[in-house]
Structure 1
Amino acid sequence: MDITRRNLLLGGTAIAALSGFALFRPMGETVAAEGDFPYKLSDDEWKAKLSPEAYDVLRHEGTERPYTSPLNDEHSAGTFVCAGCALPLFLSDTKFDSGTGWPSFYTFIPGALGTTSDTSLFMERTEVHCSNCGGHQGHVFNDGPQPTGLRYCINGVSLAFVPKAA
């Protein structure tokens, strides 16, 4: 088969269509981690509380574009908290530059995160969510620095930064 512009475009269209199936998430249906979480809001309350981007990530397991979060460049002493409920999740001294475009941490504050299996994108990953409100934070991978060897790859819009008091 000759590689023609038409074949190239048809192949690209097929790949895009298959990707669309993998990324499809029904809108209007909250898909944050299931469970009985202490902090609860109705869907309308979440929409009113959060920016559209944060709502998509926290309540619909969306992903922000890499290198768009100002928290990538946040290097002050303090605590990164859940943007949905303000639960402290990560201490600033556990943050590192992973080169991925998302804020990354090698560990979290004990009890702050829960995990679920994520099988979207034709692979299995471990999703992390806030243990207080169930909001999607990102994923954890086994390619981080010591002492844990883990990389918590977190969406910046799912976090807020609280500077350490002077």
Structure 2
Amino acid sequence: MKINIGIDEEQRKAIAHGLSVLLADTYTLYLKTHNYHWNVTGPMFQTLHTLFETQYTELAVAVDDIAERIRALGEFAPGSYKEYARLTNLKEADGIPSAEEMIKDLVKGQEAIAKTARSIVPVADGASDEVTLDLLTQRMTVHEKNAWMLRSLVA
């Protein structure tokens, strides 16, 4: 059936494209955070192991929320490593970094996702897409808070 939610097709496609980048960034950060959860070592092990688990669990929920919004806009959500690698703004880490380097890398990832979400705001706002704007606001709130918490762990 044709979608009739008050947002024209061109606007829905543009919003969905931005959300696809956000989805790819979020999934990439999820994988990276989960990897660091498994492989962190050192005197901050317990703190970081727990913090990383909290963050990757939240990212897993976010992936679903973002993908479902893309679908509600009438587009297909990307769902493969190949598509995520093409769309993401995040870089994979080589090897297993030190705990401090993990923290710094995750700060960059959290900040990058906040910027990706913020870049979609004008498109969604121009379409009066309050549902996507709400989702973006929630994502920016979480990522900016996570970046702050992670930054607080390093000098």
TM-score, normalisation: structure 1: 0.26
- Bigger Rg, which one: 1
The structure with higher relative contact order (CA 8 Å, sep 6+) is: 2
TM-score, normalisation: structure 2: 0.28
Q: Which has the higher strand share?
A: 1
Q: Which has the higher helix share?
A: 2
